[in-house]
Amino acid sequence: MESLLKVADLRVTYGRAVAVKKVDLDVGEGQAIGLIGPNGAGKSSTLLAIMGAVKSQGTVMFKGRSLHKLQPESVARLGIAIVPEGRHLFPSMSVQENLMLGRLARRPGKELRIDDEWIANLFPVTHQYRERPAGLLSGGQQQQVAIARALLSDPDLLLLDEPSLGLSPTAVNTVFDALGKIKALGIAVLLVEQRAQRAMQFCERSYVISEGEIRLEVKSKTEEDISAVVAAYFGRSA
């Protein structure tokens, strides 16, 4: 399959701290790919580097084009959207106003795959509570708004940074059900998760990252293989 996103030899440092030592990964068109690893492994830094939100070294290619030195706004205009860790909604702005920010990143002239109606069907609460300040919604509802906002830019690749973190089991199911529908539309997903088991089951392939380096690429979905990865890299908690 042709590569949509190709990351090679990625390195991210914050001053003298090395957050990402060497990350190589590939996302094919329309694929759901996992990036799983313990806290502090370099997952968020990898996504931020792809977006151009932190400085990095190495190669990031999207649709055959280098993203080197592009600002996040330019990366977004090429068709990548991010749901950041912690959601980053504007709490005092209404849900509707938060969603509008996603629409601003739409690419002019492109036929829309995702419109307001599709979003309202995917996450009814984003429509039902559209006039409410986003900060008054529950954590699960806010995560839906954050995903909806990213989707409204109509991306070809959606980066998600621990979308299930801190959510109730029901809210986690809502998120994963939505990811299935997003993937069914042909949108590629790069999913960062500490909930390793769930991510490996959902994704076609998953990369295991620890201490800033990719350690393993998991394709198997058998329970034994998934349990072995969890035991080796995550202890019992995932």
Tell me the CA distances in angstroms from 107 to 7, 79, 112, 185, one per residue in order.
Answer: 23, 8, 9, 17
Q: Which stretch binds ligand ADP (CB under 6 A): 12-20, 62-70, 120-128, 220-228?
A: 12-20
139 phi/psi in degrees, rounded to 5: -55, -45
* Nearest-angstrom CA–CA distance, 238 and 94: 34
Report the partner that residue 42 touches, choosing among ligand ADP, Mg ion, none (CB closer than 5 to 8 A by kind): ligand ADP
Measured from the CB atom, is 41 or 218 closer to ligand ADP? 41
Decide if residue 184 touches ligand ADP (CB under 6 A).
no
Report the partner that residue 40 touches, choosing among Mg ion, ligand ADP, none (CB closer than 5 to 8 A by kind): ligand ADP
Measured from the CB atom, is 119 or 160 closer to Mg ion? 160
Q: Least distance to ligand ADP from the beta carbon of 14, Å?
A: 3
169-184 and 139-151 helices, crossing angle to 10°: 10
Measured from the CB atom, is 122 or 167 closer to ligand ADP? 167
Tell me the CA distances in angstroms from 39 to 4, 98, 110, 171, 238, one per residue in order.
Answer: 27, 28, 38, 22, 12
Per-residue tokens: 106: 């739409």
56: left (phi over 0), alpha (psi -120 to 50) or beta: beta
- Where in 65-104 is the site for Mg ion (CB under 5 A)? 85
Measured from the CB atom, is 40 or 124 closer to ligand ADP? 40
3-state secondary structure of 68: coil
Decide if residue 198 touches ligand ADP (CB under 6 A).
no
Q: Least distance to ligand ADP from the beta carbon of 116, Å?
A: 32
- Where in 29-88 is the site for ligand ADP (CB under 6 A)? 37, 39-45
Decide if residue 163 touches ligand ADP (CB under 6 A).
no
Decide if residue 210 touches Mg ion (CB under 5 A).
no
Report the partner that residue 126 touches, choosing among Mg ion, ligand ADP, none (CB closer than 5 to 8 A by kind): none
Decide if residue 44 touches Mg ion (CB under 5 A).
yes
* Nearest-angstrom CA–CA distance, 39 and 81: 23
Give, rounded to a whole angstrom, the gap between the first and last alpha carbons of the chain.
30
Total residues interacting with Mg ion, rule: CB under 5 A: 3
Instruction: Provide the β-strand partners of residue 65.
Output: 62
Sign of CA dihedral 86, 76, 180, 215: negative
Binding site for ligand ADP (CB under 6 A): 14, 17, 19, 37, 39-45
Binding site for Mg ion (CB under 5 A): 43-44, 85
